């Protein structure tokens, strides 16, 4: 896909991988809408910040409708919004379980439903879902988070088969540990320079977006080569 003048929506656009995706899409000439729960940090003529919580269907629908009212289509959706809490299964607060599923899974589902009709109508589009290596294998003390990311993996695998005949691509990304504020909820792990850099993960996402029309990268697993230095 040639990204210049394409209409892209990025959820969780204010931090980490989402922030870097916005930056690199703008550099490619795309028209980008960032969905954030609070104010956005980008300032660019081709960037619009839409305040919405992916867990709230009504607010999210209004944000997507604004994109469609202005441009009539959506070419790219990057489902990046997500969070994780650490804790043993029998100790994790129930509200944290619900917050993770509502954000990581239900919010992703909402955004995808809102973007798909435009993509199917135009016979083209690309949805990128950010999962995690925690969606490929389980880890102790993050069982709930793993459950959400396994759900993203299953949803993505089924969805790409559902929409490929409409010309719509679905790519699921599985990053290892990324140097972001994700680990703010962990007492034992802090971000460090041997983790993946968010700009490098974003670069690989943009590479997938720019692939030829009949080239489909379904799954993208990314890990640091030497995670502990």
Kindly report, residue by residue over 55-107, the tens digit of the pLDDT.
999 999 999 999 999 999 999 999 999 999 999 999 999 999 999 999 999 99
DSSP-derived secondary structure for the chain: ---TT-EEEEESTTSHHHHHHHHHHHHTT-EEEEEESS------TTEEEEE--TT-HHHHHHHHHHHHHHHS---EEEE---------TTTS-HHHHHHHHIIIIIHHHHHHHHHHHHHHHHT-EEEEEE--GGGTS--TT-HHHHHHHHHHHHHHHHHHHHHGGGTEEEEEEEE--BSSGGGGG-SS----TTSBPHHHHHHHHHHHHTS-TT----EEEE--SSTT-
Q: Pick the catalytic residue from 47, 110, 145, 160.
A: 145
Active-site annotation holds for 145: yes
Domain boundaries in the chain? 7-222
CATH class of 7-222: alpha beta
- pLDDT tens for 7-63 read 999 999 998 999 999 999 999 999 999 999 987 778 899 999 999 999 999 999 999
Global pTM value: 0.93
């Amino acid at each position: 896909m040639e990204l210049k003048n394409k209409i892209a929506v990025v959820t969780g656009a204010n931090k980490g991988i989402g922030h870097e995706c916005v930056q690199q899409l703008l550099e490619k000439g795309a028209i980008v809408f960032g969905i954030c729960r609070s104010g956005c940090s980008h300032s660019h003529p081709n960037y619009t910040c839409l305040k919405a919580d992916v867990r709230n269907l009504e607010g999210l629908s209004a944000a997507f409708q604004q994109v469609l009212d202005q441009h009539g289509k959506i070419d790219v959706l990057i489902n990046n919004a997500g969070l994780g809490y650490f804790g043993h299964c029998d100790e994790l607060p129930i509200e944290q379980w619900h917050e993770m599923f509502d954000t990581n899974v239900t919010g992703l589902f909402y955004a995808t439903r809102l973007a798909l009709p435009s993509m199917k109508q135009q016979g083209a589009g690309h949805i990128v879902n950010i999962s995690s290596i925690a969606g490929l294998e389980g880890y102790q003390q993050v069982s709930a988070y793993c459950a959400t990311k396994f759900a993203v993996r299953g949803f993505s695998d089924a969805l790409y088969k559902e929409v490929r005949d409409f010309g719509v691509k679905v790519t699921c990304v599985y990053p290892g540990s990324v140097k972001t504020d994700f680990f703010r909820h962990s007492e034992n792990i802090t971000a460090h320079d041997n983790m993946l850099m968010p700009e490098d993960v974003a670069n690989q996402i943009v590479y997938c977006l720019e692939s030829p029309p009949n080239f489909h990268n379904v799954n993208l697993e990314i890990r640091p080569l030497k995670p502990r230095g």
